[in-house]
């Protein structure tokens, strides 16, 4: 049996994880409705982010409680995106200037947007995708602002989702 390429393995593992995540969300939605499901989803994301960041830091050999410079953050996030944001998610992260992390999804192609549309709850869904990135940044001990502020799905009105995290080092 041939060992799969790293990229194919990352995609497989992420697709399995995102399928589990979507099915978990759907089952909670059926049992409790969208309001409770959003609340529980965000609580789980926040708790997971602290664990993920700790594991990633250990895996990458990152020392200390927080990242102290933008260069350290860029290096950290470059590794995170390779493993946690594969191409099928239709998202990109970039650094257009110092202390800014820019995110952007292909118009109307966010995997969560499409999934919530399919479940019929897009108008009430509270975005867990950008919230996860927020929780990673918080777990790294980095103060930040986010523009635009994201609660509901940004694609609902314009079909677009993009914005900036302004990091304060």
Going from N- to C-terminal start, the domains of the chain cover: 6-167
The listed CATH number (2.40.160, 3.30.1380, 3.40.50, 2.60.40) that belongs to domain 6-167: 3.30.1380
Token pair in block for residue 140: 């790294």
Whole-angstrom distance, CA of residue 105 vs CA of residue 133: 14
With b meaning 16 or more CB within 10 Å and e meaning fewer, what string describes 136-168? bbebbebebebeeebeebbbeeeeebebbbebe
Q: Can you say whether the dihedral through the CA atoms of 23, 28, 30, 31 is positive or negative?
A: positive
Q: What is the pLDDT of residue 2?
A: 76
Q: What is the pLDDT of residue 3?
A: 67
Whole-angstrom distance, CA of residue 56 vs CA of residue 76: 9
Q: What is the pLDDT of residue 156?
A: 94
- pTM value? 0.92
pLDDT of the chain, 169 residues: tens digit per residue: 776 798 888 889 999 999 999 999 999 999 999 999 999 999 999 999 999 999 999 999 998 878 999 999 999 999 888 888 888 899 999 999 999 999 999 999 999 999 999 999 999 999 999 999 999 999 999 999 999 999 999 999 899 999 999 999 9
Give, rounded to a whole angstrom, the gap between the first and last alpha carbons of the chain: 48
């Amino acid at each position: 049996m041939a060992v799969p390429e790293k990229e194919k393995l990352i995609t497989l593992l992420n697709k399995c994880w995102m399928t589990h995540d979507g099915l978990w969300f759907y089952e909670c939605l059926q049992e409790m409705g969208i309001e409770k499901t959003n609340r529980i989803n965000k609580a789980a994301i926040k708790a997971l982010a602290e664990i993920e960041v700790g594991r990633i830091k250990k895996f990458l050999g990152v020392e200390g409680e927080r990242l102290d410079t933008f260069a350290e953050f860029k290096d950290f996030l470059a590794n995170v995106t390779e493993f946690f944001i594969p191409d099928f998610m239709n998202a990109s992260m970039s650094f257009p200037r110092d202390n800014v992390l820019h995110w952007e999804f292909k118009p109307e192609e966010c995997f969560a947007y499409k999934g919530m549309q399919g479940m019929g709850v897009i108008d009430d869904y509270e975005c867990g995708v950008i919230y996860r990135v927020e929780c990673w940044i918080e777990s790294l001990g980095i103060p930040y602002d986010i523009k635009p502020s994201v609660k509901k799905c940004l694609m609902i009105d314009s079909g677009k989702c993009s914005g900036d995290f302004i990091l304060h080092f």
